[in-house]
Structure 1
Amino acid sequence: MTLLILGGTGEAREIADRLQGHDAVISLAGATRTPAAQALPTRIGGFGGADGFRDYLRDAGITAVLDATHPFAHRITSRTATLCQALGVPYVQFLRPAWMPEAGDRWIEIACETEAADHIPHGAVVFLGTGRQTLDRFTNLKGRDVICRQIDPPDKPFPFAGGRFLVGRPPFSVADEEALFAALGVQYLVVKNAGGVASRTKLTAARHLGIQVLMVARPARGDWPVVDTVDAALAWVNAL
């Protein structure tokens, strides 16, 4: 068996750590310029669409795929699951549980990023914890003071007036996030419901500071096998 792990999340790295010695490779999309080192042989970069992915599975002798990409990488996940099903390659998605509001949280769920402007008044200070890849969906936030945090230094200007980039590499503690939000005067926090413990610190900080959170809902879950813990993902691998 040769296992392909589609990575990019902390859980994917943990799975790779625990599969050292197995016949496996982890693939990273290359969205981060200097990704953390992985415990398995690592492939970086896209596959070139469905045809390129099919060719890679064949050429690399891949016999099973564990998809541990970001919960919002739905296009990659859907394409991968569909192709694996057509080829008869065992496939499972690792999908960590979504965040749920706790007492004191001020959340408004929105279906997509473009809806954020409906809830944020002009002049407000807005912190985007959604990354740079969907920044174009926030162009209707003109007239607000928009701060977008990303891991790598920007390689192009901010796409609309009134916005700026903030470079920061996780993890961030609750205290770090509270100090940052207070210093910036953040009034609205926009995040995707990615789930996970490490990145929830910004939500805890927002609760402590009384910041309004706009939570982008997850894409609909597809009709393919899903596990929601690292142990369950490893059990799936060991059962192959």
Structure 2
Amino acid sequence: MTRVLLLGGTAEARALAKLLHPGVPIVSSLAGRVPDPALPLGPVRIGGFGGVEGLRRWLHDERIGAVIDATHPFAATITAHAAQVCADLGIPHLVLSRPAWDPGAAIVATSDIEAAEIVQQQGFSRVFLTTGRSATAAFVDSNAWFLIRAVTAPDEPTLPRRHQLVLSRGPYRVEDELALLREHRIDALVTKNSGGDMTRAKLDAAAALDISVVMVSRPQLPHGVRAVPSVADAADWVACLGPR
């Protein structure tokens, strides 16, 4: 059967690997930014590819016949690289993209920088920031106090002057999120539109407490890529692949 590269690191990627293993020769790839990551079933490689040319060489050397991108919706760089290389090489390519959250009454921002500007403009004073370790730099000069939740600690120079750091990973429960928001007297939640159930509880808790939400919208997928919303859809796509 076709050898498949699964760009992973998400719950959906692990679920797909479990569904396909051992019948499909699949190699999962993790970026390596998270210590002690949850590993999928089957062979795993950890670390970057070295840009577009590195990914091109790796796919050739490993005789990969198809690529499934099941990375985080905001992992725009690897998504763009995979789309470009697969198009160049004529390799079947699929993006497994979990459905986005409905922003509802949230204030939608197009970037972390715009989200920081909104926090300043709205005069929010105690912010629950859940945009990930790489996004805290946009808030460095903010006057607000931040409760920052991330899987791994951001670099010290990228942290706002006034903050408290909480290191944890989902899934989270609504009752725990309610307690957290109340304890820290949060008046705004800043989050990325990651979608999925693992971290949705913060949105439900914010809605229950009438707390404002600033939501960073997702980057657009590269032009022309095929995307499916579910693990089952991705498995069906693999089942239709011919030998390469």
TM-score using structure 1 length: 0.93
Shift of 1:69: 0.4
Number of the residue aligned with 2:235: 234
Shift of 1:37: 2.4
Q: The residue matched to 1:199 in structure 2 has which SS? A: coil
Matched, 1:143 2:143: yes
AA of the residue aligned to 1:176 = D
Give the conservation status (yes or no) of the 8 Å contact 2:116–2:138.
no
Aligned length, in residue pairs: 236
Number of the residue aligned with 1:194: 194
In structure 2, list runs of 5 or more residues that go unmatched: none
Give the conservation status (yes or no) of the 8 Å contact 1:158–1:164.
no
Q: The residue matched to 1:27 in structure 2 has which SS? A: strand
C-alpha distance in 2 between matches for 1:219 and 1:151: 21
C-alpha distance in 2 between matches for 1:44 and 1:153: 20
Number of the residue aligned with 1:61: 63
Q: The residue matched to 1:198 in structure 2 has which SS? A: coil
Matched, 1:159 2:159: yes
Number of the residue aligned with 1:43: 45
| Deviation digits for residues 81-131 of structure 1 (CA, Å, limit 9, x no counterpart) | 1110100111010111111145xxx41111111122333345610111111
Give the conservation status (yes or no) of the 8 Å contact 1:72–1:194.
yes
Number of the residue aligned with 1:219: 219
Matched, 1:176 2:179: no
C-alpha distance in 2 between matches for 1:53 and 1:10: 23
CA separation of 1:134 and 1:20: change in aligned 2, threshold 3 A:
same
Shift of 1:154: 5.3
Number of the residue aligned with 1:71: 73
CA RMSD in angstroms, aligned pairs only: 1.6
Give the conservation status (yes or no) of the 8 Å contact 1:158–1:165.
no
C-alpha distance in 1 between matches for 2:169 and 2:199: 11
C-alpha distance in 1 between matches for 2:65 and 2:157: 43
Shift of 1:163: 2.5
C-alpha distance in 2 between matches for 1:36 and 1:55: 27
Number of the residue aligned with 1:109: 108
TM-score using structure 2 length: 0.91
AA of the residue aligned to 2:165 = F
CA separation of 1:66 and 1:123: change in aligned 2, threshold 3 A:
closer
C-alpha distance in 2 between matches for 1:163 and 1:116: 17
C-alpha distance in 1 between matches for 2:159 and 2:206: 26
Give the conservation status (yes or no) of the 8 Å contact 1:84–1:90.
yes
Matched, 1:23 2:25: yes
C-alpha distance in 1 between matches for 2:221 and 2:103: 20
C-alpha distance in 1 between matches for 2:8 and 2:227: 15
C-alpha distance in 2 between matches for 1:225 and 1:125: 40
Number of the residue aligned with 2:118: 119
AA of the residue aligned to 1:83 = V
